[in-house]
Amino acid sequence: MVAPDPVDARLLAMLAEMGRAAVHELAARLGMDPREAATRLITLSGSGLPLLVGVECDPNGIRKALANSVAWGSYTGPVQSGPVPGGPVQAGPGHAVRGTPSGAYPPAPGTVRGTPSGSYRQGPPSGPFPAQPHPVPTAQEPLNTWGPPQSSSWARGDHAPAPKARTGKIGSTLETEGLEGARFTIQLVEVVDPADFLFTAAGYKLADGERAVVVHTELANTGTVTFNALPDMYLVLMTGTGETVGKAPVSLSSRPPHKIGVQPGETAGGHTVYVLPENTVVTSVRWSSRPETDLNTLVWTVDD
């Protein structure tokens, strides 16, 4: 077997750490394009490594999507089998799934802002389906901010509604929309700062002059479209100097991470870990559906 290049080595190291994960989640932790990660994993799987790249779905959801494809009128081919970026990846047998809830959370020192909520409810993951023309909205189904794609209102800004309030404090629940028409609310439940004890208890080490922060958020899908992304993919900390701190590629067994996919009517929670300089002042937490900010970006102020 040919030795893997540095990118493959990072993929394998993270996969060995997690044991089992969806490709989207694995790619997000490494800051990679999920399609590139999937291609590399499939190649590595065929090289003789004890690595299985698979795919799973919600059977009822897939059957419903296939039934609706006749009405959409643009999907006529067969369903292709084989690995896709949203499928699970498992490195050999006997590996535990990291981040599985393990009962009550142990207390941790440091400032805990907010009140932890109860159980987590996670619906079955559902991968993206081929893009289809949007149906004409009815009176009960309001238009998206910029109108249906491919329509004249999509490119026009004169009919765009005024931006909604997208700011709050720890404990606030804010409403927003996703890139695929999903409607949901996100609550910033708590911010544990510092969270060094949780970080080291999970087997990780902080360098001198570093500290850990853990942010707990919950996403409630209030619409009729499945939320298919990782809820905290672009959840960042804002500092007093205007810089952003992205999530660390680690997960804590005592504070389960987010999983990909939230079905309509369901609520899913998760924890995001950050590592930053010890003296850095965190002023706010920002959520976006994409790397850059837009009208749907949410911001929660963190009080000192």
- Most confident segment among 39-48, 222-231, 267-276: 267-276
Checking if the pLDDT of 162 tops 80, the result is no
- Give the separation between CA 261 and CA 219, rounded to whole angstroms: 10
Name residues whose C-beta falls within 8 Å of residue 7's C-beta, 6 or more positions apart in sequence: 32, 40
Checking if the pLDDT of 21 tops 50, the result is yes
Mean pLDDT value across the chain: 74
Q: What is the pLDDT of residue 235?
A: 95
- Per CATH, is 1-98 categorized as 1.20.950? no
Per-residue model confidence as pLDDT tens digits over 244-260: 999 998 888 889 999 98
- Most confident segment among 34-48, 105-119, 162-176, 257-271: 257-271
SS3 state of residue 152: helix
Checking if the pLDDT of 141 tops 50, the result is no
Q: What is the pLDDT of residue 100?
A: 34
Instruction: With cut-offs at 50, 70 and 90, classify the pLDDT of residue 237.
Output: very high
Nearest Cα to Cα of residue 172 among 182, 186, 183, 184: 186
Q: What is the mean pLDDT of residues 161-177?
A: 81
User: Which of these ranges, 87-91, 157-161, 206-210, has the smallest mean pLDDT?
Assistant: 157-161
Q: What is the mean pLDDT of residues 123-130?
A: 44
Per-residue model confidence as pLDDT tens digits over 275-297: 999 999 999 999 998 888 888 99
Q: What is the mean pLDDT of residues 126-135?
A: 46
Q: What is the pLDDT of residue 156?
A: 46
Q: What is the mean pLDDT of residues 133-157?
A: 45
Checking if the pLDDT of 271 tops 60, the result is yes
The DSSP secondary structure of 84-138, one letter per residue, reads -TTSEEE-STT---TT---SSPPP-SSEEEE--------PPP-PPPPP-PPPPP-
The DSSP secondary structure of 109-124, one letter per residue, reads SSEEEE--------PP
Domain map (residue ranges) of the chain: 1-98, 102-126+162-304
Checking if the pLDDT of 175 tops 80, the result is yes
Q: What is the pLDDT of residue 277?
A: 94
Give the CATH number of domain 102-126+162-304; options: 2.60.40.1240, 2.40.128.20, 2.60.40.1180, 2.60.110.10: 2.60.40.1240
Higher-pLDDT residue of 284, 34: 284
Q: What is the pLDDT of residue 4?
A: 56
- For a pLDDT cut of 70, what percent of the chain falls above it? 66
Whether the CB-CB separation of 54 and 90 falls below 8 Å is answered with yes
- Give the separation between CA 259 and CA 257, rounded to whole angstroms: 7
Checking if the pLDDT of 161 tops 70, the result is no
Per-residue model confidence as pLDDT tens digits over 45-87: 877 788 888 777 777 778 877 887 654 444 444 444 444 444 5
Name residues whose C-beta falls within 8 Å of residue 167's C-beta, 6 or more positions apart in sequence: 174, 298, 299, 300, 301
